[in-house]
Amino acid sequence: MPANVLHLPAGQGALTGLWQHRLGLMLESTGEGVFGVDLAGNCVFINRAGAQMIGFAADEVMGRNMHALTHHSHANGSPYADSDCPIFNAFRNGLPCRVDTEVFWRRDGSSFAVEYSSHPIVEGDTVHGAVITFVDITGRKQAADALQRAHDDLARANDELEQRVARRTAELSSALAQLRELSAYSEQVREEERTRIAREVHDELGSLLVALKMDVNWLHKRLGEQEGRSAEAAGDMRTQMRCKCQNMSRLIENAVDNVGRIITDLRPSILDHQGLWAALEWQAQEFVQSAELQLAWRMDVPADLQLPEPAAMAVFRIFQEMLSNVGRHAQASAIDITIYAQPDLLELRVQDNGVGATRQALEAPTAYGVMGMRERARQLGGELHIHSEPGRGSCLRLLIPRELA
């Protein structure tokens, strides 16, 4: 017989009287519920704490089947057969048990989480029933459930944080890669611009200066040959020298024009002398003349509304890139440019009737022109919106805060 069963001294068969007489005070002094059942599962004793936990008076429970009274259903309300009941199996098999995953039912039909132990009552070699101790563990279960929920919430929050960190890391990595590509592209563009300017200076200004040098040397040589010449020969020479001086004047004018054009490419002087709005209109007129496009120009901006120099230069460069995109990709025949001031925003819109582009093309990692415009717009605290569909042209809108003005 197992050691942790309850043995009664041999010869004491009056079970109810024995327990009431010997253990009455102990049973009433404990806060746990305690009851005993016979082999039929009927209650032979119960203390006041146990009866109160299931909503009965102690004398109302006596003689009643405890499984049918308080252990008849699972927590989900499904029937609980007494053949599966660990309490009954304790005396049927002579083995004790301890369970904390079930519920007891009260008189009013409500249930509570319970932890109970069932031990066989043995007199000699005969099992007479079982004694069951139980305690309401609702508070413990609630605390455990709350702790588990907190743990689950923390795990979910941690997973979400890790996912956000992973997404943000990926976004930052992508942004860093794009920034590196944009930086490399900007450096390439600067180098190409330096190369172009150097070529123009060499090919155009250099050739003009060489021609001027040759003319000056010619003049110097002819002046030395004037001595001893006849009047008629001297007159012919003066005529040749006047022609040579006129040619030198034309070369100097061409050189001045080329210098002015190169300077304008680097920084339009109109931007400093007449302001941003005049510079934008001048650039638009220059572009449509060279690209042979029809221009619809509309501007509604107060005359006294001007941007500071860094912002004005950024807007001008964005506008140049907008026009450059039209010239390189749009295959358009007409362009519509609108500039107007809203209460809180300044809007610059360039719309063409060209072939358009897909969203994927505009957002491709190699769309450096679009990336550069967006970056300049962000530095101004503004936004660049692009709407384009294949076959329906493109519309580029630059929005910047009016407070910059």
Given this model, what pLDDT does residue 102 score?
94
DSSP tag of 302: -
- Rounded to the nearest 5°, which phi and psi values hold at 230? -75, 165
Q: Which of 375, 357, 393, 395 is nearest to 317 (CA)?
A: 375
DSSP tag of 277: H
Question: And the tokens for 312?
Answer: 């004005």
d(CA 254, CA 30): 115
- Decide the pairing of beta strands 383-388 and 43-46: unpaired
Confirm if 276 and 312 have CB atoms less than 8 A apart.
yes
Q: Which of 259, 334, 348, 254 is nearest to 300 (CA)?
A: 348
Given this model, what pLDDT does residue 369 score?
80
- Read off the amino acid at residue 105: W
d(CA 28, CA 37): 17
DSSP tag of 103: E
- Residue identified by tokens 């809180």 is 344
d(CA 221, CA 279): 48
Rg from Cα positions in the chain: 50
Given this model, what pLDDT does residue 249 score?
75
Confirm if 130 and 118 have CB atoms less than 8 A apart.
yes
d(CA 280, CA 303): 14
Given this model, what pLDDT does residue 95 score?
80
Give percent helix, percent strand, percent coil of the chain, each to the nearest 5. 55, 20, 25
Given this model, what pLDDT does residue 60 score?
93
Given this model, what pLDDT does residue 329 score?
86
Question: And the tokens for 85?
Answer: 């009941």
Q: Which of 263, 266, 262 is nearest to 313 (CA)?
A: 266
Angle at 295 between CA 293 and CA 300, to 5 degrees: 160
d(CA 348, CA 339): 5
- Read off the amino acid at residue 152: D
d(CA 268, CA 53): 93
Question: And the tokens for 223?
Answer: 């002046």
User: Reduced to 3 states, what is the DSSP secondary structure of residue 376?
Assistant: helix
Q: What residues of the chain score a pLDDT lower than 70?
A: 1-25, 27, 182, 184-206, 220, 223-235, 259-261, 263-268, 405
